[in-house]
Every structure is written in structure tokens, then in C-alpha cells.
Amino acid sequence: MMILRMIKYLIIINFKDFGYWFWTLCYPLLLCGLFTMSTPNMSSTEIEDIDVGIEPGHPVAEVFESMDFIALAELSESEAVERMKDGDMAGYIHGENELLVTETGVNQTIIESILDEIKHVSASGIPYQNFDYDREYIIPNSQDAQPETILFYALISMISIYGMFSAIEFISTMQPNLSLMGARFSASPFSKWKFLFSSVASSLLLNIFSNTVVLIAIAILYQMAIFTELWPTLLLIFTANLTGIGIGLFIGLIPGINANIKTVIAVILMIALSSLAGLIGPIIKAVISENMPWLNTVNPLARLTDTMYRINFLGNYNDYWTTIGILALYALLFFGVTFFVLRRKQYDSI
């Protein structure tokens, strides 16, 4: 009964804090609205035909003419160079299947890939004129995915660790050298493990409430089903909530500074982790995945974003339980450190 009373009291503390509600509710709702307004046409661009030049009578002309997305034109090299300089042509094929370009880009890469495939087919002894380039040797399994969904998954990952803010408030309030309430608590017979449990429960309830509001807002504003695997996703979010609370408790232990400065530290950490997880766009995340994949492994928000995308859009559960385990391990580590420090901490005077 005492624990329930403490949970209620801790919840009331945060209900009176405008800063808490701004960061946990107003800020993510604002981001959700901005994402919805700024990304509706991100994936609606149609693929245009690629203009390709080729020298007259070249043997691969028949292959390129059979491709629907290639607009082929026979012309001389000098004419092709002029058109490429004007931006009207992507590349020019001549000689022994050589590609002449004046700039690099996606279209040039596509043309080069086609030429490479033709070379590989010829090397295998198959006449490339008889090879079926349109045949699909892999059974397609597509999802109606859109690139902007990574922004929303990163946003959901970010709000999942927002329990850190209430945890910072709780742990700072109960430190006798930082508040009068903490001095009274230190002199009371209330056990520290009960206080730790009450803090975790209070933070969890508050953050689940704010998470629910934001998820409902995303479902209403962004009219696309981003959760095809609802219950596994909710388990991920729940575990991430515990991780965020653990991080908040750990930051709250920093000595000599008040809760406001600790909150600033938490905000900087949260924005850094979220940005690396794809909140500012999928390009940063792709660069990290290619050059520093270990960073995505240790970043809990990056793992959470990746796993939510994989299970909901790809039906891939390969790293699902690994992500759950890593998030839970972070939470247990921070909870353990917090309890150990609180249990051993002594004050010369209060």
C-alpha cells in the first residue's frame, strides 16, 4: 500500500511540471505534424526514362531497345557529347561496349550495370541477343513501404526512452543534498529499493501514457499502417521504456548539479542517439551502416528503429530477440548501478 501511495505521489510531481509535458508530449507531437506535412510526396516520384545514345549499328542496340525504361538514340559521338553537356542524355555506348559519360549519377550507374550484365552473359558463352533480361529469377515479395516511414520509426524510438525525464526528476528530488524532500526521505524509514521500484513504475506509467497519445496521433495524421506486427512492436517499445528509465536514473545520479542541468544532458543524449538512428533522415543512418556498423549495434535507438522496420515491413525477426535482449541488458545494468549507488551513498550533513 505504501508503494502505491509513493507511485501516486511521484506521478503527481511530474503532472505539475510543464517542462516534462513539453518534452514528452508536445515536442514529439510537433515533430509528428512536421513529418506528416513535409514528407507526403517523398516516395511518389515516378521513374523517368533514361536517355541513352549509341553509335549507329552497335550490336547491343537491340538489347537496350527491348528495355521499357531506356530511350535509345543512334547518333555520333560528338552529337552525344553535346547532348550530355546540355543534360539531355545520360551516356553514350560505343566501341567494345564502352560507356562514355560527362558526369556521374544514378542513371549512369544503371547503364553501366546493364553493360556489365551483357559482358557477363557473353563471357558465359550465351549470345546476349538471346538472353531474356526481363525474366525475374527471384520471386518478388514486396511491401507497400515508403522511405519516410524510417522517420516515424526513429520518432517512436525516441519517445520510447522519454521515461528518462521523469526518472531524472524522481532521483534528483529524492537526493538529500539537492532538495528538502530528499532530506526528509533520507531520514524516513522508507527503503531505497521500494523507492527505486516506485520510481520505475511511475516513470513507466507516465511514459506509456504519452507514448499512447503520440502513437494515436501518428495513426491519425500519417494514414498508413506502419504496425503490421502490433504486439511484437509493443513489446519492443515496452522494453525500450525500461531502458530509457534506466538511463534517466543513471543520469540522475550525477552529483553536484540540479535536475534542470541533468535534463539538458538527457536532451542532448536523446537527440544525438535519435539523429544517428534516422530521425533527421535515412541518409545519415545509411552512411553509419556502411562505415561504422558497430555504432548501430550499441545505439539502442538505432537497433529499435531497425528492428521495428524489419518486423513490420519485411517480416524479418532475425534480430528481434537480440534487440530485446540488448535493451533489457541496458535497463538491468542501469538499474543495478542506481540501486548500488543509492544503497552505499552517505552524506556528512543534510
- Cβ atoms of 19 and 263 within 8 Å: the answer is yes
Please provide the DSSP assignment of 228-254 as one string: SSHHHHHHHHHHHHHHHHHHHHHHHT-
Report the predicted TM-score, pTM, of the whole model to 2 decimal places: 0.66
Identify the CATH number of the domain defined by range 50-130. 3.40.190
Interval 142-156 mean pLDDT: 70
Which of the pair, 330 or 222, is modelled with greater confidence? 330
- Cβ atoms of 236 and 308 within 8 Å: the answer is yes
Reported as a single tens digit per residue, the pLDDT across 83-97 is 999 889 999 999 888
91-94 and 50-54 as β-strands: parallel, antiparallel, unpaired?
A: parallel
Q: Give the pLDDT of residue 200.
A: 85
Q: What percent of the chain has pLDDT above 90? A: 23
Torsion 171-174-179-183 (CA) sign: negative
Reported as a single tens digit per residue, the pLDDT across 23-41 is 788 888 888 888 777 665 5
> The C-alpha cell of 307 is what?
528492428
Domain spans, the chain: 15-39+148-344, 50-130
- Asked if the model's pLDDT at residue 142 lies above 60, the reply is no
